[in-house]
Structure 1
């Protein structure tokens, strides 16, 4: 005789087994850069707090996207003598066995203030990091772009670019091989503006099927309308024509979903969007948490709208 399990027991078992993996780790963290180093997933976020308290960085590592280890104070203002406050939006890359960690500091509003985009370096992704230059890599405002929200892009020809900018302006520049400065473009300019329609801040770029996907944040970071849009081009220089918004709030889940990065799993057509959002219970602009959800494409290579969830993503251990 077949045993019939009551529906309420099935539902109870489902909810008992259902895992809510968003946020991926506790605490207020924003502007997350996700990346893979040494067969581990890493996230380097902003410690989300009032600017005068936002003076250090933590990092998080995971073997599977579900279980995370915290690496405390990998860099702080005690190490970076010119940085006083508002350290945020890190970007990191490995080159020649060194880990280069770029960050914004001091939230400068004019060329008369000290601050901008700095560089730190370590032998390990989890730090500790040391100030690399003793001064900002970019300490002035070029083409109207506040020197914040830096992203290091490694092109398929080997060239490293810095893409950055706030105040609705985005610049791209060619990094020197040792990351101590910049190489001018053929026309002699150092910073070229590539700002697409709707751009506010938070640039990110990756290559898929030979195309350059450029992504950015729109709206106000303290508001519910914060979101992510994107464009596709044949070159890191663009031109980038806005295609669509692909990450935004869900009033049933969270608000202020934005300032993201993308992790691609090696040897798989699997992409994850790492982003921050604000819980429905929170009104403080700094109450932001880091989350991960799946990012997919249609048959034309366009990015499908990312559904923000409480469940997040399941375990995906990296193959060694």
Structure 2
């Protein structure tokens, strides 16, 4: 009798075994513009809630210990905490500094300097919030160098300096953040915002350092259509000048369309690189029907990024 029970148990094991790959999308729901981070040996993803602008009034976050099983943290921030924001909360970027978590976001989709909105910053004691308005007003509320104040990314350089890199409407700026994240440090020439727009840039900037080189990535094309891509350039400084290399992420009409607006995470211990991005499932016509996915990213012997293969399987289970 005991042997029979053991056999039944063993036969049932595969039915209850955990998945060994993330699958794509990595979690359910319409989410776009994902920023991925690693905090305390945990993977985090902070996306835009992909809906009509007037419904984009909050943000959720997701965490995982292994890239496979994800936990949802609902409404880590919403417009009730940001009095000047009323719609279109977009493209969060988060960074940990001095034990606090700073969440940068765009709001209101302003079309001119006469509207209220732009790039805001919120702060919390935990990565899942709740986040509160850090300065009570937008950090960037005007168009500088023709860049719409959206799609913000916070970059920490190897010397400890933090930068805000942002911009829509095919223009990208970089500015040095001050120590309190409530303003900026002027450049040597007295300016605040320096344009670093590379060839082909549309929106969604992201930057990382590898082997002493600065990799500047962005999205180009139209986000509601199939012609959406991720491209990149390389420079010796976060200020550029950046030389365009080419596109590394694009749609695969057998898997998904509209692949873009990404971030990158690096498991330094294993030297594994991942690109986290959104794409549109086949057959979806609604521009907001975007889902968050993850795939491996690699480099060739010369340090150039290999073209990313988008997959249905995603990536292998990996703990930090």
Q: Same fold (TM over 0.5)?
A: yes
Deviations 1:135-171 (A, max 9, x none): 0000000000000000000000010000000000000
Q: Which runs of 4+ in 1 moved over 6 A?
A: none
Aligned length: 303
Contact 1:20-1:310 within 8 A present in 2 as well? no
Flag the 1:317–1:141 CA change in 2: closer, same or farther, 3 A: same
Deviations 1:35-55 (A, max 9, x none): 100110000000000000011
- Displacement of 1:19 in angstroms is 5.5
The equivalent of 2:57 in structure 1 is 55
Distance 2:244 2:89 in 1: 29
Distance 1:89 1:122 in 2: 18
- Displacement of 1:314 in angstroms is 1.2
The equivalent of 1:215 in structure 2 is 217
Identify which of 214, 230, 246 aligns with 1:228: 230
- Displacement of 1:20 in angstroms is 6.5
1:278 aligns with 2:280: yes
Distance 1:207 1:311 in 2: 28
Contact 2:21-2:68 within 8 A present in 1 as well? no
- Displacement of 1:226 in angstroms is 0.5
Contact 2:20-2:68 within 8 A present in 1 as well? no
Deviations 1:159-190 (A, max 9, x none): 00000000000000000001010000000000
Distance 1:94 1:271 in 2: 20
Contact 1:254-1:277 within 8 A present in 2 as well? yes
The equivalent of 1:34 in structure 2 is 36
Please give the residue correspondences for 1:88-127 in structure 2 after superposition, counting only pairs within 5 Å. Answer: 88-127=90-129
- Partner SS for 1:52: helix
Distance 2:114 2:40 in 1: 41
Distance 1:247 1:19 in 2: 20
Please give the residue correspondences for 1:90-239 in structure 2 after superposition, counting only pairs within 5 Å. Answer: 90-239=92-241
Identify which of 247, 250, 253 aligns with 2:249: 247
The equivalent of 2:4 in structure 1 is none
Distance 2:20 2:101 in 1: 37
Identify which of 301, 304, 307 aligns with 2:303: 301
TM-score normalised according to structure 1 size? 0.93
Flag the 1:18–1:107 CA change in 2: closer, same or farther, 3 A: same
The equivalent of 1:10 in structure 2 is none
Unaligned runs of 5+ in 2: 1-18
Contact 1:118-1:136 within 8 A present in 2 as well? yes
- Displacement of 1:266 in angstroms is 2.6
Deviations 1:255-305 (A, max 9, x none): 000000000003222100000000012010000000000000000000000
Contact 1:260-1:273 within 8 A present in 2 as well? yes
Distance 2:319 2:300 in 1: 25
Deviations 1:54-85 (A, max 9, x none): 11000000000000000000000011000000
CA RMSD of aligned residues (A): 1.1
Identify which of 86, 89, 112 aligns with 2:88: 86
Distance 2:303 2:144 in 1: 33
- Displacement of 1:222 in angstroms is 0.3
Flag the 1:18–1:263 CA change in 2: closer, same or farther, 3 A: closer
The equivalent of 1:3 in structure 2 is none
